[in-house]
Amino acid sequence: MTAQVHAHTPNGLTIWLTGLSGAGKSTLAALLTDRLREQGQAVEWLDGDELRRSLGRGLGFSREDRFENIRRAVYIAGLLNRHGVITVVSVISPYADMRSYARQELPGFVEVYVDCPLPVCEVRDVKGLYAKARTGEIPCFTGISDPYEAPADPELKLHTAERTPEQCMEKLISWLTEHRLYQL
């Protein structure tokens, strides 16, 4: 699949990073946002944890609440895109229908699967969330007690257990450039 937006259109682009907690979405998003900003691009980063803290208060982790959180992220990304802003979204978005909704609502949607095996994500977990989920302290935790539906056909898949964050960011920049969604 290839997003149907070009660098010189008035609409922005949404780069949607999806994957398990600890897969490297936020690290990659920070690197990508910095790189795009250094290149003079109008770019904003919507981080899943920040969105939950600022706009998702009162939302739990039921499927419906997770979908509402995604709706809010899509709405903000759409507003930014209409003003020509590249939006980097780093959210788990565990269900395929959530990502399908984002794709339908955002004309310049690029799905990037930040693929990392669960055992590696658990080792990277500095907050101890996986351990709490395994003991039942955190219910409905994606990858443990709640499913993660891996993207069937993302525009790009990045294997963060096999490559450094910088290598993954370079691969993403190369993909965007190759598909004329970003120009140096």
Active site residues: 93
The span from the CA of 176 to the CA of 70, in Å, is 23
The answer to whether 24 is annotated as binding is yes
The span from the CA of 183 to the CA of 181, in Å, is 7
The answer to whether 21 is annotated as binding is yes
The answer to whether 26 is annotated as binding is yes
The answer to whether 60 is annotated as binding is no
The answer to whether 23 is annotated as binding is yes
Q: Please calculate the CA angle 71-84-95 and round it to the nearest 5 degrees.
A: 25
Secondary structure string (H, E, C) spanning the chain: CCCCCCCCCCCCCEEEEECCCCCCHHHHHHHHHHHHHHCCCCEEEEEHHHHHHHCCCCCCCCHHHHHHHHHHHHHHHHHHHHCCCEEEEECCCCCHHHHHHHHHHCCCEEEEEEECCHHHHHHHCCCCHHHHHHCCCCCCCECCCECCCCCCCCCEEEECCCCCHHHHHHHHHHHHHHCCCCCC
- Residues annotated in the binding site, as ranges? 19-26
- Residues annotated in the binding site for ATP, as ranges? 19-26
